[in-house]
A = this chain, B = another copy of it.
Amino acid sequence: MNRPRLSGPAFTLAPAVRRLNALAPLAESARGAIEAALQQTVSIPIRRDLLTEGKPTGAPRIIVQGWAARVRIQVDGRRQFLSFLLPGDLIGLCAHPDPLATSTVTALTPLKVCPAPAAETCPTLATAYAMSAATEEAYLLDQIARLGRLHALERILSLLLEFDERLDLAGLAHGGTFEIPLTQEQMADALGLTSVHVNRMLQQARREAKLQWTGRSVTIHDPALLAKQIGRAPVRVSAGI
């Protein structure tokens, strides 16, 4: 039931819908609910906070376009990006009452977000949300292993492989190539490094022909091989897909 990839002025299949549908095949009612929510998409300027640590989360939202990050900042200015939020990812989804944000969420690019339809709308939507939450947790575990036991170059490559994998789900990566809106300093803040060292390691990666990073576009020359070299396994949370 694939729609044609190009169908006139309208989009083909919004990355957000594509991701959620890839996590759990959506029934017509679920897809309809999301398409309806997409009509209420709003724009968020770059650097604006969507959530603030310790404050109520408000209604859950879906990222339609752009990148955001969960961030923690210490009093002395040290900054750590905890995770990145990409198109199709959910913001502020919680199953318990009166949820408080456990981290601040900041727009890394100009952002488009829409309301997340209630999980009760359709069982397939609830499943997609649950898959999304489980996937997010799995990536947090990856991030911990990255920071704890990988060297600088391994950390960088591992994170880029994660981006490739996640963007591919949303249809935003093709054969190891994708758009990345991050500066080297932002990469450093995610990887527990300094921007100077990220710079040097990226040069080494380019020298070793592992990847290409020109402007905003990254190409991983052989994702599968690279994943094997640094011992990274793709994230899988369910036997179903």
Contacts and interface: CB of A to CB of B under 8 A. Distances in A.
A144 interface: yes
Contacts of A75: 231
A36 to B, nearest CB: 24
A13 interface: no
A235 B102 contact: yes
A72 B231 CA distance: 11
A96 interface: yes
A145 B189 CA distance: 10
Given A102-B138, A103-B141, A236-B54, A95 B147 contact: no
A50 interface: no
Nearest to A71: B145
Contact of A100 (B54, B72, B238): B238
A46 interface: no
Contact of A144 (B56, B143, B237, B239): B143
A236 B239 CA distance: 33
Q: Which DSSP category, helix, strand, loop or mixed, fits chain A's interface? A: mixed
A195 to B, nearest CB: 14
Given A78-B149, A147-B192, A236-B54, A141 B72 contact: yes
How many copies of the polypeptide does the oligomer hold?
A: 2
A218 interface: no
A141 B102 contact: yes
B192 A148 contact: yes
B238 A98 contact: yes
Contact of A145 (B82, B99, B148, B235): B82
A133 interface: yes
A80 B130 contact: no
Contact of A237 (B102, B138, B236): B102
11 contacts: A24-B96, A54-B236, A79-B149, A80-B145, A95-B126, A95-B134, A96-B130, A97-B127, A102-B138, A102-B237, A144-B144
Interface of A: 24, 54, 56, 70, 72, 74-76, 78-80, 82-83, 94-100, 102-103, 126-127, 130-131, 133-134, 137-138, 140-141, 143-145, 147-149, 190-192, 231, 233, 235-240
